[in-house]
């Protein structure tokens, strides 16, 4: 317990699934949590839940594809809590398993705006206070879709591969300045990410063809524990790495 005492942690997409589990666990471990999400009502609800449990939290609305909103988010975190020690880029969207020949410019740009530009904007802006502090941790939530080529459609797969490359570069470039950057790559997890999806029939069949080899689905709370390790001092010598948490699916 208390692995994150006096740390300020900003988590995007923090109102459901893995992001929500991370926010709640980090708060239990002593972090002051900035709960960021597109849904302001839900962000405020999660923040209030943390406060009712004795923690410190701030709920804010943010579209991570909008650099101005991301800047306001990070400024608010520092104004409220005095520092920014941990950034978790969790917000992400799926692409309905759409194969290349059906990917429109609009779909491509939407996926890249959230899954790549969002973490880029947030990391670049968070780096400023982290460099002043001489320390900080960035954790990017990718996917086994960022390692394998057949877990999602073309745009999502490309975006999650890009996020891993981005993370490796950040981890190496700033290692000597006290900043670590790692990736958590979940496998199948019980979340609501597919709630409003309209899967492409052909793409969905192809991408699910190996699902029978998955040992089991994971739970958000299990992923949150891995995230806690990666942002804590327990992982002080872990940098520029991608930690897969998929129950052994990729081992097949």
- 226 within a domain of the structure (yes/no): yes
- Expressed in angstroms, the distance from the first to the final Cα of the chain is 35
On whether residue 3 sits in a domain, the answer given is no
Alpha-carbon distance of 60 to 73, in angstroms, equals: 7
- Model pLDDT for residues 141-162, shown as the tens digit of each residue: 999 999 999 899 999 999 999 9
- Tell me the catalytic residues: 156
Inside any domain, residue 234? yes
| Residue 236 belongs to domain spanning | 8-251
Confidence (pLDDT) at 203:
83
Is 199 within a domain? yes
Q: Flag whether 227 is in a domain.
A: yes
CA distance 52 to 74: 24
Please give the tally of structural domains in the chain: 1
Answer whether residue 2 is part of any domain: no
- CA dihedral (228, 92, 199, 148) in degrees, to 10, reads -60
What are the tens digits of pLDDT across the range 200-235?
A: 888 888 888 888 888 899 999 999 999 999 999 999
pTM beyond cutoff 0.75: yes
Q: CA-CA distance, 14 to 29, in Å (whole number)?
A: 16
CA-to-CA distance for 66 and 59, rounded, in angstroms? 18
Assigned domain for 14 exists: yes
CATH of the domain at 22: 3.40.50.720
């Amino acid at each position: 317990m208390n692995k994150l005492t006096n740390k300020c942690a900003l988590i995007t997409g923090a109102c459901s699934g893995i992001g929500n589990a991370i926010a709640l666990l980090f708060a239990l471990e002593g972090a002051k949590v900035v709960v960021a999400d597109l849904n302001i009502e839900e962000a405020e609800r999660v923040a209030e839940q943390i406060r009712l449990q004795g923690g410190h939290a701030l709920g804010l609305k943010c579209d991570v594809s909008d650099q101005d909103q991301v800047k306001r988010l990070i400024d608010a975190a520092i104004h409220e809590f005095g520092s920014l020690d941990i950034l978790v880029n969790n917000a992400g969207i799926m692409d309905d398993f759409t194969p290349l020949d059906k990917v429109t410019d609009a779909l491509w740009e939407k996926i890249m705006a959230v899954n790549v530009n969002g973490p880029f904007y947030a990391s670049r802006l968070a780096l400023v206070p982290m460099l002043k502090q001489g320390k900080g941790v960035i954790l990017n939530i990718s996917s086994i879709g960022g390692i394998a080529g057949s877990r999602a459609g073309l745009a999502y797969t490309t975006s999650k591969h890009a996020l891993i490359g981005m993370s490796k570069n950040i981890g190496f470039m700033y290692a000597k300045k006290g900043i670590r950057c790692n990736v958590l790559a979940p496998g199948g997890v019980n979340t609501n990410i597919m709630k409003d999806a309209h899967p492409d029939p052909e793409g969905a069949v192809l991408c699910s063809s190996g699902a029978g080899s998955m040992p089991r689905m994971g739970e958000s709370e299990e992923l949150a524990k891995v995230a806690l390790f990666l942002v804590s001092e327990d992982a002080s010598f872990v940098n520029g790495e991608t930690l897969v948490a998929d129950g052994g699916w990729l081992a097949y």
